[in-house]
Amino acid sequence: MNKIENFGIVPFRTAVLYNLLSHYKSPKDKVRRMEQTGNILRLKKGLFVLSPAIAKQELSIELIANQIYGPSYISYQSALSFYGLIPERVYNTKSATAKRRKKYETPLGSFEYITVPAKYYPIGLQSIIVNNTYAFIVASPEKAICDLILATSGLRFQSKKAIHQYLRDDLRIDFDNNTKWNLSIIADCIKYAYKKIELQLLYNLLKNEYSI
């Protein structure tokens, strides 16, 4: 198991695993046994990750979400929870993608990928590097809120008061945590997204809060 342990928490493909197990008479049977004993976890067809017990560290849901389907980035409530802007822990990890919408059920929970416009996709993304070991892509808080507004069917606002109630009461965003809102990200989103009226109201609201 020493070589396999070198994967750490980074997901790996079946072909790479078969290559490491090539000294076994049947690498395929060995992989099946490893999965049955819980040493490896199947994320989707052809993609695995070591169990935390074998990797000897906690798995990164964010890294795994990026790897299951891409290009994609963590967003929506998942990103807001990552930044500590909403109180709830999120069990269904949501990401945005410029590709077709997808959803995967794994031993680690559900991973959902929601389509956004291609020119809108790259706005407001951040690469988070953890312990100089791995990195994942996540939406900025501003982009995550824009994504939520775009993805929520029937969501329409006619005033700053209405959108503030949505952010405060429905999403339960903490406006007292001294977040510095980057309005330029929202301005860029407005250029390429639908629901321009709603995003403009969001821009106007946050302009009266902390901004940079």
Does 156 share its domain with 135? yes
Does 50 share its domain with 96? no
Q: Helix and strand tally (H, E) in the chain?
A: 10, 9
Helix runs in the chain, H state only? 2-5, 14-20, 27-36, 52-55, 61-68, 76-82, 141-151, 160-165, 183-192, 196-207
The answer to whether 97 and 103 are in contact (CB under 8 A) is no
How would you classify the pairing of strands 92-97 and 109-115? parallel
pLDDT value of position 158 = 82
pLDDT value of position 178 = 66
Does 50 share its domain with 69? no
Which range marks the domain in which residue 17 is found?
2-55
Residues of the chain where predicted confidence (pLDDT) is lower than 50 = 1, 212
Domain count, the chain: 2
Q: Taking the model in full, what pTM does it have?
A: 0.91
- pLDDT per position as a tens digit, 143-184: 999 999 999 988 888 888 899 899 989 999 887 766 789 999
Does 45 share its domain with 90? no
pLDDT value of position 212 = 47
- pLDDT per position as a tens digit, 48-68: 999 999 999 999 999 999 999
Does 198 share its domain with 117? yes
